């Protein structure tokens, strides 16, 4: 009989190292959420909690403008964070601009240039056809080409 698969929680709890890793990740996610909830206005969208090393919380922003806004509200932010994380004593704020990618440009096809001579060749080919449907289609093509000539 096949062994029943274990849930992720069972696997994480079975190994001490995995359990500690999972707890650490959960704690960092909770801390990141608390930091973002404590930030004013749009600042949270431009801020990423990188790590908590000892007593220092590292935060990265995507521009110096947002870093300055965090520094301006640092006392309130630290007070809010310390309610749940009393070990946090200072913030290290860095700026790492996000590389902006240029939108892909789709090469546009050059419009075909038709000459009056090309149109005349299609008309002549249409005149020489015996199949009426094909002859009519070629005449319509010649008429369209005539509108597109330079």
Compute the residue count for the chain.
150
Report helix, strand or coil for 57: strand
Residue 45 domain-assigned (yes or no): yes
Residue 102 domain-assigned (yes or no): no
Strand partners, 47: 61
Structure tokens at 134: 């094909």
Same structural domain for residues 78 and 135? no
Structure-token match 């909690």, residue found: 49
What gap in Å lies between CA 118 and CA 120, rounded to an integer? Answer: 5
Same structural domain for residues 64 and 126? no
Same structural domain for residues 15 and 84? yes
Same structural domain for residues 23 and 85? yes
Residue-level pLDDT at 100? 67
Residue 103 domain-assigned (yes or no): no
Same structural domain for residues 91 and 132? no
Report helix, strand or coil for 22: helix
Residue-level pLDDT at 7? 81
Same structural domain for residues 76 and 142? no
pLDDT digits (tens, 9 = 90+) for 94-141: 998 776 666 667 777 777 777 888 888 889 988 998 888 888 998 998
Helices (H), the chain: 8-14, 16-38, 64-72, 74-84, 116-127, 132-148
Cβ pair 28, 52 in contact under 8 A? yes
Same structural domain for residues 127 and 88? no
Residue 38 domain-assigned (yes or no): yes
Same structural domain for residues 25 and 83? yes
pLDDT digits (tens, 9 = 90+) for 48-73: 888 888 889 899 998 898 999 888 88
Residue 2 domain-assigned (yes or no): no
Query: What CATH number does residue 32 fall under?
Result: 3.30.300.180
Same structural domain for residues 90 and 132? no
**Residue-number span of the structural domain to which 80 is assigned:** 11-95
Q: How many domains does the chain have?
A: 2
Strand 47-53's sheet: what is its strand order? 47-53, 56-61, 90-95
Same structural domain for residues 87 and 21? yes
What pTM was estimated for this model as a whole? Answer: 0.54
Same structural domain for residues 70 and 121? no
What gap in Å lies between CA 31 and CA 52, rounded to an integer? Answer: 9
Strand partners, 101: none
Q: From the CB of residue 47, how many other CB atoms can be counted at a distance below 10 Å?
A: 20
Residue 126 domain-assigned (yes or no): yes
Structure tokens at 32: 């990141």
Same structural domain for residues 129 and 59? no
């Amino acid at each position: 009989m096949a062994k029943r698969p274990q849930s992720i929680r069972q696997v994480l709890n079975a190994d001490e190292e995995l359990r500690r890793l999972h707890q650490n990740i959960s704690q960092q996610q909770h801390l990141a959420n608390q930091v973002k909830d404590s930030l004013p206005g749009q600042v949270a969208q431009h801020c990423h909690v990188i790590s908590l090393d000892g007593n220092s919380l590292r935060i990265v922003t995507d521009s110096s403008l947002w870093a300055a806004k965090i520094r301006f509200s640092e006392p309130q932010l630290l007070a809010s964070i310390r309610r749940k994380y009393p070990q946090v004593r200072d913030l290290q704020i860095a700026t790492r601009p996000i590389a902006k990618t240029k939108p892909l440009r789709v090469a546009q096809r050059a419009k075909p240039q038709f000459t009056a001579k090309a149109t005349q060749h299609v008309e002549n080919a249409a005149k020489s056809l015996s199949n009426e449907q094909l002859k009519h289609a070629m005449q319509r093509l010649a008429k369209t080409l005539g509108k597109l000539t330079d």
